[in-house]
Amino acid sequence: MATLNEKKTCSERMADFRRFVWNPETKLFLGRSLINWVWISLYYVAFYVVMSGVFALSIYCLMRTINPYEPDYQDQLKSPGVTIRPDVYGSRGLQIYYNVSDNKTWEGLVTTLHTFLTAYTPAAQHLNINCTNNTYFIQETFDGPNKTKLSCKFTSDMLQNCSGITDPTFGYPEGKPCFIIKMNRIIKFYPGRGIAPRVNCTYVGEESRPLEVDYYPVNGTFNLHYFPYYGKKAQPSYSNPLVAVKFLNITKNVELKIVCKIIGAGITFDNVYDPYEGKVEFKLKIED
């Protein structure tokens, strides 16, 4: 079979490459004459300008079809996610460890809560209205200013003992820490089918073991008048309702696994892939 000897030494290859980059005889730069390079560059500039135009046009058309108030589909948002504050993530999820006698270990946690609650000061909430009905706050029309819808007020004082007002340390030094549970916003989501969803915290895997918890507001419910959410454009000043939990009988120096679920029709917490759907699980260890 063929004996095609294309073996070249390294220096020959280098020389070939130099010749390819600039060939002084044919005046070719990288295999093309300079004028040829100009032409080909012009062609590609034109080509890419046109392609960018096509892309921009496509995105423009896409944006024209998009409803600014609510997304077309909520395929992934069937049930809301749940988050907790303070949130410290370790390598295996939420891990809240602190030592009551060591200020430094819990000051950060307290600061997190204070920072989080700044959005719930009366000043921050002044655009929102006071709601008293314990039913869904359905608004077909834009009653708010600038073609918006109204949002209900939620202020931190509703969290009573966990508001940070009466106890700026949220009970951390006493070993009775407060946690704030928040449910993710989903547009036009009606949780609980008319019954206010509530937070329920237990030990993981040991539901029968008593966990003494104080819930704020009472019963740990999210009042229905905060729902449904109409989206950022309709309710620019909307803020999520919160539930604070205060654990009262935490055994010291033991890592405890606690889960806080939101109980209510339409909220699922059994998705094996999503640990934060309808519930939040965390490890708590208080040392002294």
Partner 1 sequence: MKVGCHASSSIHAPRPRQFGDKMSAVCCCAHCDFLSLGMQDDHRLSTSELEKKYGTSIDKGLSSARAAEILARDGPNALTPPKATPEIVKFLKQMIGGFSILLWIGAAFSWISFGIQLAQGVDSAFDNLYLGVVLALVVILTGIFAYYQEAKSTNIMASFSKMIPQQALVLRDAEKKELPADQLVVGDIVEIKGGDRIPADIRLIFTQGCKVDNSSLTGESEPQSRSCDFTHENPLETRNIAFYSTTCVEGTATGIVINTGDRTIIGRIASLASGVGNEKTPIAIEIEHFVYLVAGVAISIGVLFFIISVSMRYKILDSIIFLIGIIVANVPEGLLATVTVSLSLTAKRMAKKNCLVKNLEAVETLGSTSIICSDKTGTLTQNRMTVAHLWFDNQIYSADTSEDQTTQSFDQSSPSWAALSKIVTLCNRAEFRPGQENLPIMKRVVVGDASETALLKFSEVILGDVMNIRAQNKKVAEIPFNSTNKFQLSIHETDDPHDKRFLLVMKGAPERILERCSTIMINGKEEPLDSEKAEAFQTRGKMLNARAPWGRANPDVLSSFCHLYLPENEFPETFQFDTDSMNFPTSNLCFVGLLSMIDPPRSTVPDAVSKCRSAGIKVIMVTGDHPITAKAIAKSVGIISATSETVEDIAKRLNIPVEQVNRREATAAVVNGMELKEMSAEQLDEILREHAEIVFARTSPQQKLIIVEGCQRQGAVVAVTGDGVNDSPALKKADIGIAMGIAGSDAAKNAADMVLLDDNFASIVTGVEEGRLIFDNLKKTIAYTLTKNIAELCPFLIYIIASIPMPIGTITILFIDLGTDIIPSVALAYEKAESDIMNRRPRNKRRDRLVNEQLAVYSYLQIGIMQSVGAFVTYFTVYAEQGFLPSTLLGVRVDWESNAINDFEDSYGQQWTKYQRTYLQWTGYTAFFVSITIQQVADLIIRKTRRNSIFRQGLFRNKVIWVGIFSQIGIALILTYGLGHVTALNFTPLRFQYWFVAVPFAILIWVYDEIRKLLIRRYPGSWWDKNMYY
Smallest distance, Å, CB 273 to partner 1? 5
Contact 249, 175 (CB under 8 A): no
Smallest distance, Å, CB 184 to partner 1? 4
CA distances from 126 to 123, 134, 165 (A): 5, 21, 18
- Residues touching partner 1: how many (CB under 8 A)? 56
| Residue 87 or 157 with smaller CB distance to partner 1 | 87
Smallest distance, Å, CB 284 to partner 1? 17
Q: How far apart are the first and last CA of the chain?
A: 84
Q: Counting contacts by CB under 8 A, is residue 277 touching partner 1? A: yes
| Per-residue contact flags (x/-) with partner 1 for residues 215 to 234, judged by CB under 8 A | --------------x-xxx-
Q: Cα–Cα distance between 278 and 262 in angstroms, integer?
A: 6
* Residues 5-34, interacting with partner 1 (CB under 8 A): 5-6, 31
* Residues 154-193, interacting with partner 1 (CB under 8 A): 182, 184-187
State the residues that interact with partner 1 by CB under 8 A. 1-6, 31, 36, 39-40, 43-44, 47-48, 51, 54-55, 58-59, 62-63, 66, 69-77, 80-83, 87, 89, 91-92, 182, 184-187, 229, 231-233, 235, 238, 271, 273-277
